Chains A and B, each alone.
Chain A
């Protein structure tokens, strides 16, 4: 670990300015990911700008959105009444991640920004295009059991590990950011994380110095609260990253699916929105939802999966997990 400067930010603009001018500076929130990466020598910031004291820790309802502050803790977010009532799937997703202790430290902004868990990325002795562009991809022909089945490139096959992000993707969230010169913009969740392409070093579409201030979820997504579920499949009961996860949410009106939102986690460089499955499920009458029709929706989505040497199981696992998540989300509405 190399020596670094530490400062406590007092306003967003100044913090953003520091990080945009010093390309080696980084925001520090809960530190649960960044400090690990620094200890491993993966991240080597020369300066840490601690944003945890900034006034973005509120979760509140404003107009037709619920706005989740970027520095609010994961645990406070998951347990907040507004979230539990309107977006229980988001609570489930957050609580499925990490451990109670880590969630007490981790922030929402940091959660969206957390980096891949690819073991070659973490080990500085290994080639990794994401850590060191041009050095090669250690996982491509290595142990890639946990890697992507969708959207990978010949440069990188990593997955995004965030549980929270999978739920946010399905809830049509919007990421609010603020940059140097106080420039603010809104990024649709689907556009926030990116596919690796030729530049896997870039996980997302933030510009240098841009800071996440809040994550806004439209109240229109709250209509799915009663029929939503986050299913995480992992190698042990808790405290493990997903092998595959599913966020499934439905709005049921007049006995049929008025709206379907489905996203998969741990299958791609970004949370994977399942448009195909959504399309096939939307408009379906509940009485037409059965194993076969759910399965058909899932199969349509998974048709394009491109598994690697060691992760072929993910396709079948995703297939089963999606059907199971759909059933749990739809509860009594469908006869299994």
Chain B
């Protein structure tokens, strides 16, 4: 890559290189410590018992047997639980404050015992009786009476006059797209060790937002933030489920307080479905109008969905329709109905992933009615500034992504007409879609510490960032090493601890941009401060090359440290910044059995400076694979009578397996964005999945002539 580096004339070049994960060795040797791996003396085990009804109150609890069961130290229910202040600080999940039940599987008791098995056996002995209320769990019925979302963030967004432009449009599409409830189900289920020393709480807990978790626990337990320490150096995936603080973490801390011992609490896979949020079910009505030449005149993106009963969280499916295409008249709206389910929350590509499924399939459908190549149709409606807010793009590479992707994929060989390509029992089809996700930097502080022994300098960068397994450790080491011009082996990265300088979270694709700019700045500041101290130096003018060992020895220092509070550049807010993606899929559909294989996929991403193509590629691969899961497999099904999920395990909640995945080619287009932030980093955590499901669904149409507007596309739907 010939991109300009942040720093010049370094011998040690790491930024933008394929550096292997520095934490990889710890992961493969099993020495990386995840939350419950920490050796803690005298730890007791907690298991949660859950409600077996979706609405009403707990009218009776018989916990006598559980209390007497071997090894049991404590049984906590709403009757004896310490009073907490959960309101607003937890994303959801009960903390046993009253008898009310809001959803099936709500936490209803915690049993603490000497061993996990004892706690589990005792938890099964607790008998609840309920005063049941009518549960709002039948989505298909409830959605009929959905009302305008009361959330200000989901108020109608109107541009021009949709109805007029739509009714005048030559080519129209009016179709409804449906995506099911989905669950994050990261490899590591949520798990916590909580321990108290006096009034100080320490939790080992996977937290995407370390400081957010600290703040939430402080409020819930009525503490000052400094009294809470959150430790989370490694996280086994989160995807949004570990973004907020949920009841399970508070319950671990509560249990530790009650039994006056450290407590370990790990959710089971089955418990994950009603403990840590979900992606809501969305019914999206799309109306698109275009003129005879393929110019879009009108888009309406109307989403009907559900919330929980105690939160108004609604993901923004319509966002994509506000900014993807140049269209003068648009309407974006949300209707919601409350349901007795765990609160919906952020899930990878929140809003954008299901929203793009609707928009990008609708675009494909309209392209067919225009008899126009769907890429040409998209190019024709490419906006020169962000239609959502009129701001200029800090950079936008949709066109390049589409052009590059269509070359890589061989799009020109695609037959527009469906059912044209056959290979034995299979119908073969190709589809395309684009995706995007906002890019932002958030305030993040960082400390750099240098230690010198002779001519050898070691550096540690410290910040309360988190690593979901995506490579945060590695990119920060790369930046520190190159900026300080040290070998990467001389860099330590200390993150995942709330006692470190406050940092943004690994959420909403802000992590990489926020953390990397802070580390870059603190290392640059190190150099300029050392130069200022050096008797030989003429001052902090960044002469090149840099030699921190020399600078330190000239200043007679063996230790040096400095701190920055990095902030996003002021001008960034006047621009619109997003990461972009073009996805191409080739599917093989067995005409008889309806089984679908995504044989080939191409994803081309424009996401500013790519700090590490290797880890970034993995992110995009993960997005593609999850997108295939979204298109073909994933569906959490509620029993409409009782509100329980019938898809509690991976036996019923399908995600793709190796054999479902064909070739995935990932490429990046060069985007030099000097506006979004100093390093020009945009983030790729979310964008990789946006657009994938639509590309697959469009390919299924191209193969079979069947337009499946309800995900997942399982064989029964093709019968």
Interface residues of A (CB under 8 A from B): 1-3, 40-41, 117, 119-120, 122-123, 125-126, 138, 141-143, 145, 231, 233-241, 243, 313-314, 316-317, 320-321, 323-324
> Do residues A320 and B654 form an inter-chain contact, with CB atoms below 8 A?
no
- The DSSP consensus for interface residues of chain B is loop
> Do residues B124 and A41 form an inter-chain contact, with CB atoms below 8 A?
yes
Min CB distance, B185 to chain A, in Å?
15
**B56 in contact (CB, < 8 A):** no
Cβ contacts under 8 Å, A125 to chain B? 52, 644
Cβ contacts under 8 Å, A235 to chain B? 632-633, 654, 714-715
**B592 in contact (CB, < 8 A):** yes
Given A235-B633, A241-B651, A142-B639 contact (CB < 8 Å): yes
Bound CA span A316–B594, Å? 11
Please, which residue of chain B has its CB at the minimum distance from the CB of A233?
A: B593
> Do residues A123 and B121 form an inter-chain contact, with CB atoms below 8 A?
no
Q: Mark B430-466, 1 if CB is under 8 A from A, else 0.
A: 0000000000000000000000000000000000000
Select A317's contact among B117, B593, B658, beta carbons within 8 Å.
B593
**B383 in contact (CB, < 8 A):** no
Interface residues in B622-667 by Cβ distance below 8 A to A read 632-633, 637, 639, 641-642, 644, 646-649, 651-652, 654, 656-660
> Do residues B654 and A2 form an inter-chain contact, with CB atoms below 8 A?
no
Cβ contacts under 8 Å, A321 to chain B? 592-593
Cβ contacts under 8 Å, B279 to chain A? none
Given A119-B652, A233-B593, A3-B716 contact (CB < 8 Å): no
Bound CA span A164–B656, Å? 24
Please, which residue of chain A has its CB at the minimum distance from the CB of B50?
A: A125
Min CB distance, A6 to chain B, in Å?
14
Cβ contacts under 8 Å, B592 to chain A? 320-321, 323-324
**B120 in contact (CB, < 8 A):** yes
Please, which residue of chain B has its CB at the minimum distance from the CB of A237?
A: B659
Bound CA span A123–B642, Å? 13
Given A236-B660, A316-B719, A119-B641 contact (CB < 8 Å): no
Q: A1-B120, A119-B646, A233-B595 are in contact. List 16 more A-B contacts (CB 8 A).
A: A2-B124, A117-B651, A119-B648, A119-B652, A142-B641, A143-B637, A145-B716, A236-B632, A236-B633, A236-B660, A237-B660, A238-B657, A239-B659, A241-B651, A313-B715, A320-B592
**B98 in contact (CB, < 8 A):** no
> Do residues A237 and B646 form an inter-chain contact, with CB atoms below 8 A?
no
Bound CA span A236–B644, Å? 24
Cβ contacts under 8 Å, B647 to chain A? 119
Select B654's contact among A40, A123, A142, A240, beta carbons within 8 Å.
A240
> Do residues A324 and B654 form an inter-chain contact, with CB atoms below 8 A?
no
Min CB distance, B255 to chain A, in Å?
20
**B617 in contact (CB, < 8 A):** no
> Do residues A320 and B659 form an inter-chain contact, with CB atoms below 8 A?
no
Cβ contacts under 8 Å, A119 to chain B? 646-648, 652
Closest 10 CB pairs of A and B: A313-B716, A237-B659, A125-B52, A238-B659, A320-B592, A119-B646, A233-B593, A313-B719, A316-B719, A324-B592
Cβ contacts under 8 Å, A234 to chain B? 595, 715
Interface residues of B (CB under 8 A from A): 52, 117, 120-121, 124, 270, 425, 592-595, 597, 632-633, 637, 639, 641-642, 644, 646-649, 651-652, 654, 656-660, 714-716, 719
Cβ contacts under 8 Å, A126 to chain B? 642, 644
Select A122's contact among B117, B120, B597, B648, beta carbons within 8 Å.
B648
Cβ contacts under 8 Å, B646 to chain A? 119-120, 123, 142-143
Bound CA span A119–B641, Å? 15
> Do residues A123 and B715 form an inter-chain contact, with CB atoms below 8 A?
no
Bound CA span A239–B649, Å? 13
Bound CA span A227–B532, Å? 85
Given A142-B641, A241-B651, A317-B715, A236-B656 contact (CB < 8 Å): yes
Select B639's contact among A41, A143, A240, A320, beta carbons within 8 Å.
A143
> Do residues A317 and B651 form an inter-chain contact, with CB atoms below 8 A?
no
Cβ contacts under 8 Å, A120 to chain B? 646
Please, which residue of chain B has its CB at the minimum distance from the CB of A310?
A: B716
Cβ contacts under 8 Å, B715 to chain A? 233-235, 243, 313, 317
Select B716's contact among A40, A317, A324, beta carbons within 8 Å.
A317
Cβ contacts under 8 Å, A141 to chain B? 641
Bound CA span A119–B593, Å? 24
Cβ contacts under 8 Å, A241 to chain B? 651
Please, which residue of chain A has its CB at the minimum distance from the CB of B647?
A: A119
Cβ contacts under 8 Å, B658 to chain A? 238
Please, which residue of chain B has its CB at the minimum distance from the CB of A243?
A: B715
Min CB distance, B444 to chain A, in Å?
40
Cβ contacts under 8 Å, A138 to chain B? 639
Given A41-B124, A145-B716, A237-B597 contact (CB < 8 Å): yes
> Do residues A1 and B117 form an inter-chain contact, with CB atoms below 8 A?
yes
> Do residues B657 and A237 form an inter-chain contact, with CB atoms below 8 A?
yes
> Do residues B124 and A317 form an inter-chain contact, with CB atoms below 8 A?
no
Please, which residue of chain A has its CB at the minimum distance from the CB of B649?
A: A122
